[in-house]
Amino acid sequence: MTDRLAIALAQINPTVGDIRGNLDRIAEARRRAARQDADLVVFSELVVCGYPPEDLILKPFFVERVLAAVHGFARSETSDGGPAVLLGMPWLSDGRLYNAAVLVDCGEIAAVRFKHDLPNYAVFDEKRLFAAGDMPGPISFRDVRLGVMVCEDMWTPDVSETLAESGAELLVVPNGSPFETGKGDQRLSLAVGRVIETGLPLVYVNQVGGQDELVFDGGSFALNANRNLATHLRSFEEDLAVTEWRRGVGGGWVCADGPMAAPPQDLEAVYRAMVLGLRDYVNKNRFPGVILGLSGGIDSALTAVVAVDALGADRVHTVMMPSPYTARASLEDAIEVAQLLGCKYDSIPIEPAMHAFQTMLAPAMAGQDPDVTEENIQSRARGMTLMALSNKFGGMVLSTGNKSEMSVGYATLYGDMCGGYSVLKDVYKTTVFRLATWRNGTVPAGARGPAGTVIPDRVLAKPPSAELKPNQTDQDTLPPYDELDDILECLVERELGLPDIVARGHDTDLVSRVWRLLDRAEYKRRQAPPGVKISRRNFGRDRRYPVTNAFSSLT
- Helix, strand or coil for residue 497? coil
**Mean residue pLDDT across the chain:** 92
**466-471 long-range contacts, Cβ below 8 Å, gap at least 24?**
466/375, 466/379, 466/410, 467/295, 467/323, 467/325, 467/326, 467/327, 467/330, 468/323, 468/325, 468/375, 468/378, 468/379, 469/325, 469/375, 470/325
0.85 surpassed by pTM: yes
Q: What is the pLDDT of residue 188?
A: 92
CA distances from 59 to 54, 90, 208 (A): 10, 11, 25
**pLDDT tens track for 88-104:** 999 999 999 999 999 99
Residues annotated as catalytic (active site), given as ranges: 45, 115, 151
Question: What is the rounded average pLDDT of the residues 316-324?
Answer: 95
Q: Is the pLDDT of residue 49 over 90?
A: yes
Residues 276 and 433: their CA atoms lie apart, in Å, by 20
Give all domains of the chain, ordered by start, each with its CATH number. 4-263 (3.60.110.10), 267-474 (3.40.50.620)
Question: What is the rounded average pLDDT of the residues 547-552?
Answer: 80
Q: Tell me, what amino acid is at 382?
A: R
**pLDDT tens track for 357-386:** 999 999 999 989 888 888 889 899 999 999
Q: Is the pLDDT of residue 464 over 80?
A: no
Q: What is the pLDDT of residue 549?
A: 82
Nearest to 416 by CA among 389, 380, 387: 380
How would DSSP label each residue in 296-344? SSHHHHHHHHHHHHHH-GGGEEEEE---TT--HHHHHHHHHHHHHHT-E
Q: What is the pLDDT of residue 543?
A: 81
Q: Is the pLDDT of residue 469 over 70?
A: no
Q: Is the pLDDT of residue 463 over 80?
A: no
Q: Is the pLDDT of residue 471 over 80?
A: no
Say if residues 189 and 152 touch (Cβ distance below 8 Å): no
**pLDDT tens track for 219-269:** 999 999 999 999 999 999 999 999 999 998 777 999 999 999 999 999 999
**pLDDT tens track for 386-442:** 999 999 999 999 999 999 999 988 888 888 889 999 999 999 999 999 999 999 999
**pLDDT tens track for 76-88:** 999 898 999 999 9
